[in-house]
Amino acid sequence: MLFNRERAEQVMQRHGLDALVAASPDNVLYATDYECVTHWLNKGFQLYSLFSPGHDPAASLIAPSLELDAIVDGDVWVDDIYLFSPFPRGPAQTDAMDETGRAAKALSERAHHVGRALDGLVAAIEARGLEGGRVGVDESGISPLFWWELQQRLPNMDIVYANAIWWEVRMVKTGEEIQRLMRASAITETAIMAAFRRLEPGMTERQVIDIYHSAVTAQGGRSTFCILGSGSRTAQPHALPSDKVIEAGDLIRYDIGCTYGYYHADNARAVVLGTPTGEQSRIWEAMAQGINDAVDVMRPGADVRDVYNAAMAPGQALGLENFERFHCGHGIGISVYDPPVITLADPEASAFLMPAVDGGLEAGMTFSIEVGYYIQGVMGFLCEDTVVVTDDGVHRLTSNSKSLDFEAFIA
């Protein structure tokens, strides 16, 4: 089960909420274990879940009839189902159906049937007598038109913006979430190693990227990104795929990710296809040392500002010009960028718009810790590890070498 129910109840109590509505693909999946393909493919698609621990049932799922089978074929823990947008099937005798077909038919017979997703959400709220309650609604996945209609249909309900509240709940991961993150991270590292073992001068960046993507798929992962540049293209933080030929002596930098069960990996390294220069070695050692020092600081109660300062200190001591970063890491989970953000600034007032952390890190938080430095049009470096905070420190999910020497790295 992905949903951290105990934490959700604590967060809801702190915000004075009677119920919490999920609307984005990330949050609905997290809240219910329901993998709705349409929800992930169609960004405007409306689908909701409702969690109200003071009521029976405690949770409802408002889902499309089209994907009725996915509810019974998956790991959905919610029993109270509202089905919208009728999707007729051809008739069949029960004994002629497979197991999923029979289960889906039984669910359809006991579910609540409504016209639209919002009708189901309103019905679930009214069934709990929450028309005058305080309800957190995930604004990140509900259209402005439906938000307005919800206010019109339930004028006495106190509606609270709740995407940041969902983020607060998701900061601390369940065991199932951590297992998925571990697998995703292992897949990325194995895949980039497979690509690097085939890398030789004369190959193009795109060829290396294609090998990476194929290796991810072969391991049961889903490729999300492989940012890989060589030579001066390493100076581009988010370099697009290119047919540039990789040459002997080139610096190569990667920043890679994939998902496993919708949970993300995100890690980065740099290597030299030959002998690193003194300048390359000094910069890279400062980046790698910053990661190691930051991880050494991390434990329950640690302040994100102390983690940030530890990550930046080696590069600052080296005297790198314009070595400034808004953040030195971010939470990771069902989103590549989950809270908390490792920063000195207020993340709520930044481009991230994520909740800050009060009281320090907690066991079960997961992070991608990163430090990078880019010299415009010349070269760039990024070192990034993924870790989970434990009761007495951290556990690293990444294990690839931090050697800048290519041969040592693949060894």
Domain boundaries, the chain: 5-170, 175-410
Per-residue pLDDT tens digits for 110-163? 999 999 999 999 999 999 999 999 999 999 999 999 999 999 999 999 999 999
Beta bridge partner(s), residue 204 = 245
Per-residue pLDDT tens digits for 151-209? 999 999 999 999 999 999 999 999 999 999 999 999 999 999 999 999 999 999 999 99
For residues 410 and 197, the answer to whether their CB atoms sit within 8 Å is yes
Domain 175-410, CATH class in plain words: alpha beta
Which residues 6+ apart lie within 8 Å of 188 measured at CB? 216, 221, 256, 257, 258, 265, 267
Phi, psi of 201 (to 5 degrees): -55, 140
For residues 19 and 137, the answer to whether their CB atoms sit within 8 Å is no
Which residues 6+ apart lie within 8 Å of 208 measured at CB? 195, 196, 198, 199, 228, 246
Phi, psi of 190 (to 5 degrees): -65, -40
> How do strand 134-137 and strand 158-161 relate by DSSP bridges?
parallel
Maximum distance among all alpha carbons in the chain? 76
Which residues 6+ apart lie within 8 Å of 272 measured at CB? 249, 250, 251, 252, 280, 404, 405, 406
> pTM to 2 decimals?
0.94
CATH of 5-170, one of 3.40.50.2300, 3.40.50.150, 3.20.20.150, 3.40.350.10: 3.40.350.10
